[in-house]
A and B are shown apart, each in its own frame.
Chain A
Amino acid sequence: MTTANTNAIERYRNNFLKEVEANVEEGHMVKMCMQCGVCAGSCPLGPAWQHSPQKIFMMIRAGKRDEVLGSDSMFMCTSCYNCMVRCPRQLPITHIMHGLANYAHRLGLAPKGQPTRDFATLFWNNAIKKGRVNELMLTLRHYFRGGLVSGIKEALGMQSVGLGLFMAKRLNPMEIFGGHGVKDLKGFHAIIAKAKEIEDRKKGFTA
């Protein structure tokens, strides 16, 4: 268990809603939900997940901390914004789902090996490294995340795709060696480091 998690449990005791309000992006809006179910019916991959946004918001109010932060549902959000434009209470549902995923991820409670969690992490790290996304490295890393053998299998399965893109000049093999990037990388990294420092302090990720 991470220290941040122990601290949070200690600090908010039995009030998970308060914890969410304080630490999760747009978490203060959770209490506005009237449980109408529109969001639940709007998710494109809805049938594939366990907890719809509506259910998650209900569970937050019911104090089901472990179930919520251990859920893989937030990672199934495709950011389609269907729920957000339909919600009669105008909850920024997409952002809350993202915020919860981030919070669970940072506390180390999000499900291990959840593919979108891993991909999202890869994506961010890839983008941050050079300031711009290196699509080839992103693709390769994604396929090889499970180790060499399964990676080769998956990559072979998708090779028609990669090869096609390559032939159509839309994937650059030279990107392996570097590729696009921001010139003032030092400054770019300093901004992120500072922003992270401020956010971590506020959300209790640092002591």
Chain B
Amino acid sequence: MAKKEYAFYPGCSSQLKASASNYLVSTNSICKSLDIKLTEIPDWNCCGASVGYCEGGELPRIAINARNFAQAETHLPGQDIVATCAACWLSARESKERLDGSAQLLKETNEALAAAGLHYNGGANVRHMVEVLIEDFGYDGLKAPMKKSLEGLKIAGYVGCQTNRPFGIDGESFENPMYLDKMVETLGGEALTKYEQKVTCCGGALAFSEPEKSQKQIRDIVESAYDHGAEMIVTPCPLCQANVEVYQSEINKKQGTKFNMPVVYYSQLMTVAYGGSAKDAALDGQLIKAEKLEKIAGK
């Protein structure tokens, strides 16, 4: 039996061939090394994300999250729900806290769930994958399966917003969380702890609808990483990853910059340090190749 078991909420972007599929592949790799068993919540649905507010409103958004909770409660009793996407984690956890805080809301939600023959009892515990790694395994525990050191790699830890605010990971500060840096150091890499854009918002969904405005943010995020001598950026969030990686070419075109900064997930770094191949780490999924990491993986 696996050492730890969780009810897994992959979220839309981490599905196969979705924009964060590389996140999923590498997460599976590290779970194997750490002896974690993730079981997908049967027939899970989208959380509605932050931008769902406009059309979705309050109760429908909470109800669809509660549907996932109800499924987990029934089929994977006693297991914490773990999300890899910051936005999923946030929507789910926010829904959970609202439901915990109001009997009336829970009642209305269950009225809605009843339409599909479901019921939520109120016992969900929603966590982010990083939380699980840091709190349940600890930095020392994360070191255990290491086969290679990421020695010499200079990495800027870009935390973004939603893995950080309003809930935060492991009680860390909102303005200067250190956990990504600590993870990088655990893996033997060089964490650029003075990187000052680590919690700057990339624009989130507005990178899509208001590209001009968000690209200024993204430019700052990448530029500062260069200023600190970073060779790559690491993130815990699929939307952050996508926004910061994908728009670099756009910014280059419009503003004449020469950005070519790889943006990887912590799970990809870990996979490589745990001896996984470039394929296990889904490094083929990068738009901007993380060559230095590939090289270590090939060693």
**Contact flag (A, B; Cβ within 8 A):** yes
> Chain A contacts of B50 at CB under 8 A?
79, 98
User: Chain B 48-82 against A: per-residue CB contact (8 Å), 1 yes, 0 no?
Assistant: 11111111111110111001000000000000000
- Min Cβ gap A118→B in Å is 7
Give A contacts to B, CB under 8 Å.
25, 44-45, 48, 75-76, 78-82, 84-85, 94, 98-99, 101-102, 105-106, 115-121, 123-125, 127-128, 131-133, 135, 142, 157-158, 160-161, 164-165, 168-172, 174-175, 180, 182-184, 186-188, 190-196, 198-199
Asked if B112 is at the interface (CB within 8 A of a chain A CB), the reply is yes
Chain A interface, >50% SS class: helix
- Min Cβ gap A97→B in Å is 9
Residues of B in contact with A, size category: 35 or more
Residue of A nearest to B285 (CB): A168
Instruction: Tell me which of B59, B204, B249 contacts A164 (CB under 8 A).
Output: B249
Contact A198 B59 (CB under 8 A): yes
Contact B54 A192 (CB under 8 A): no
22 contacts between A and B (CB under 8 A): A78-B204, A80-B161, A85-B165, A115-B210, A117-B54, A118-B209, A123-B49, A123-B205, A124-B51, A132-B15, A142-B209, A158-B250, A161-B247, A165-B246, A170-B285, A172-B16, A180-B15, A190-B115, A194-B115, A195-B60, A195-B109, A198-B59
> Chain A contacts of B22 at CB under 8 A?
168, 170
Instruction: Tell me which of A99, A118, A125 contacts B53 (CB under 8 A).
Output: A99
Contact A124 B162 (CB under 8 A): no
Residue of A nearest to B49 (CB): A123
Asked if B217 is at the interface (CB within 8 A of a chain A CB), the reply is yes
> Chain A contacts of B166 at CB under 8 A?
81, 84-85, 94
Contact A81 B56 (CB under 8 A): no
Known interface pairs A119-B205, A120-B54; A76-B59 also in contact (CB < 8 Å): no
> Chain B contacts of A196 at CB under 8 A?
57, 59-60
Known interface pairs A78-B201, A187-B117; A116-B210 also in contact (CB < 8 Å): yes
Contact B209 A119 (CB under 8 A): yes
- Min Cβ gap B228→A in Å is 20
Contact A191 B113 (CB under 8 A): yes
Contact B285 A127 (CB under 8 A): no
> Chain B contacts of A171 at CB under 8 A?
17-19
> Chain B contacts of A84 at CB under 8 A?
165-166
Residue of A nearest to B63 (CB): A195
Instruction: Tell me which of B16, B46, B246 contacts A161 (CB under 8 A).
Output: B246
Q: How far is the CA of A166 from the CA of B201 in the complex (A)?
A: 26
Q: How far is the CA of A183 from the CA of B53 in the complex (A)?
A: 24
> Chain A contacts of B115 at CB under 8 A?
187, 190-191, 193-194
Instruction: Tell me which of B16, B53, B116, B208 contacts A102 (CB under 8 A).
Output: B53
Q: Using a CB-CB cutoff of 8 Å, which residues 12-43 of chain B contact chain A?
A: 12-13, 15-22, 43
> Chain A contacts of B13 at CB under 8 A?
133, 135
Contact B209 A116 (CB under 8 A): yes
Contact B206 A127 (CB under 8 A): no
> Chain A contacts of B210 at CB under 8 A?
45, 48, 76, 115-116
> Chain A contacts of B43 at CB under 8 A?
182-184
Instruction: Tell me which of B17, B116, B253 contacts A184 (CB under 8 A).
Output: B116
Contact A161 B165 (CB under 8 A): no
Contact B116 A81 (CB under 8 A): no
- Min Cβ gap B201→A in Å is 4
Asked if B214 is at the interface (CB within 8 A of a chain A CB), the reply is yes
**Which of A82, A105, A175 has the most chain B CB within a 10 Å cutoff?**
A82
Asked if B45 is at the interface (CB within 8 A of a chain A CB), the reply is yes
> Chain B contacts of A142 at CB under 8 A?
208-209
Q: How far is the CA of A48 from the CA of B206 in the complex (A)?
A: 12
Contact A135 B51 (CB under 8 A): no
> Chain A contacts of B208 at CB under 8 A?
119, 142
> Chain B contacts of A25 at CB under 8 A?
53, 57-58
Known interface pairs A81-B166, A121-B54, A164-B246; A127-B200 also in contact (CB < 8 Å): no
Known interface pairs A187-B116, A191-B116; A198-B52 also in contact (CB < 8 Å): no
Known interface pairs A194-B111, A194-B112, A198-B111; A170-B19 also in contact (CB < 8 Å): yes
